[in-house]
Amino acid sequence: MEYGNSGETRGATASPTTSTGRDRASNAAVALQDGARQIRESVSSVISGKDEQVHLAVVVLLAGGHLLVEDVPGVGKTVLAKTLAAAMDSSVSRIQFTPDLLPSDVTGVAIYDQVERRFEFQQGPVFANVVIGDEINRASPKTQSALLECMEEGQVTVDGVTHKLPAPFTVFATQNPSEMEGTYALPEAQRDRFMARMSMGYPERDDELAMVDRRDSSDPLASVRASLSATDVSTMIEQAARIYVAPAIKQYIVDLARATREHPDVRVGVSPRATLHLVRASRAAAAVAGRDFVVPDDVAKLVGPVFAHRLVLSARGSRGTAASASAARIIDQISQQIAVPTSAATA
């Protein structure tokens, strides 16, 4: 089943109807798939039994998005982020969010140079290709908001001066469940900037035993070697952004988004930004699968991770269960109600 229109632009070329155009699109898809495979293999060498989580993390990376990993302490949230960073030959920084962390500790600050008699901007840890935000919800909302401009626009503005962040730029943030002590709920505007949210979950028995054996004598993270450069990843992100999305699939994504705004158990549905994020993530998923076009299954698998954390539920919608579980249930209901496009509809 092919969802690409033979008369429209697909993949990395503008002329797919020619043999050369198809070859170029195919080569770009193969290169993207190979790069994604290298990253996944590096991460899987450290974290076993979490193929779905690793896949989603790679998809978000290639979509140029940011990932929020929520779970209880000790299940590998930070290890996943550190391993992804180690798999790329790029600049990496880690920010440990605490209640006393200030916004300037994240973005940087202008310091007066008495010799030069002028202010000089000292970059904060956010100036890196990969920023690991550890326990982001332990910082105050004021400090959390320091990432808003960074995540959306790829820049930092301090004292009226704008500073561009390096490309590619991605934030992998971890947070503890909001029910735990010493946490602040992420503001809606902050959650909306994360392309996807996921949970790690506890490992299976055999995977946990393998982890014990693997870490008995050495740290597997120390053996991870970068397989791609920052330039490679930037190129992959650009190529993934050119993956073809048929008009019927775009309509499918819009219908899913609009359904969240009309659901009786939802007070605030997903934003138009979420719609764009689902399009970008679906393109990246197609690229990881080695295709130069998106199929409905790409969208269906990603709608939960991309949409659920953005929903603001009504009192009825969140009654009797955790908000995250209720949001996931609502997304499942919507997914079953919205008609999935067929190959004929995308021809």
Least confident of 155-159, 219-223, 337-341: 219-223
Contact 318, 326 (CB under 8 A): yes
Q: Which residue has the tokens 């993207």?
A: 32
- pLDDT tens-digit map of 16-54: 445 555 566 667 777 888 888 888 888 888 888 888 999
Model pLDDT, residue 18: 53
Lowest mean pLDDT among 3-7, 196-200, 239-243: 3-7
The more confidently predicted of residues 239 and 210 is 239
Alpha helix (H) ranges present in the chain? 19-44, 51-62, 77-86, 103-107, 141-144, 148-153, 188-193, 205-214, 230-240, 247-262, 272-288, 296-307, 323-337
Q: Is the pLDDT of residue 11 over 60?
A: no
Per residue in 252-271, pLDDT (tens digit) is: 999 999 999 999 989 999 99
Which tens digit of pLDDT belongs to each residue from 261-299? 999 989 999 999 999 999 999 999 999 999 989 999 999
- The pLDDT value given to residue 79: 84
Looking at residue 114, what is its pLDDT?
87
Q: Is the pLDDT of residue 324 over 70?
A: no
Position 322 pLDDT exceeds 50: yes
Which pLDDT score, from 0 to 100, does residue 72 have? 82
Average of per-residue pLDDT across 230-239: 92
75-108 pLDDT per residue, tens: 888 888 888 888 888 888 999 999 999 999 999 9
- C-alpha torsion angle, residues 74, 80, 82, 88 (rounded to 10): 170
326 pLDDT more than 90 = no
What the chain holds in terms of domains, given with CATH numbers, is 19-243 (3.40.50.300)
CA distance 108 to 211: 38
Helices (H), 63-217: 77-86, 103-107, 141-144, 148-153, 188-193, 205-214
The mean per-residue pLDDT over the stretch 155-174 comes to 92
Amino acid at 208: E
Look at 214 and 160; give whichever has higher pLDDT: 160
Q: Is residue 159 left, alpha or beta, with left meaning phi > 0 and alpha meaning psi from -120 to 50?
A: left
347 has pLDDT over 60: no
d(C-alpha 268, C-alpha 262), whole Å: 9
Residue with tokens 């200030």: 102
Give me the pLDDT at residue 275, please: 97
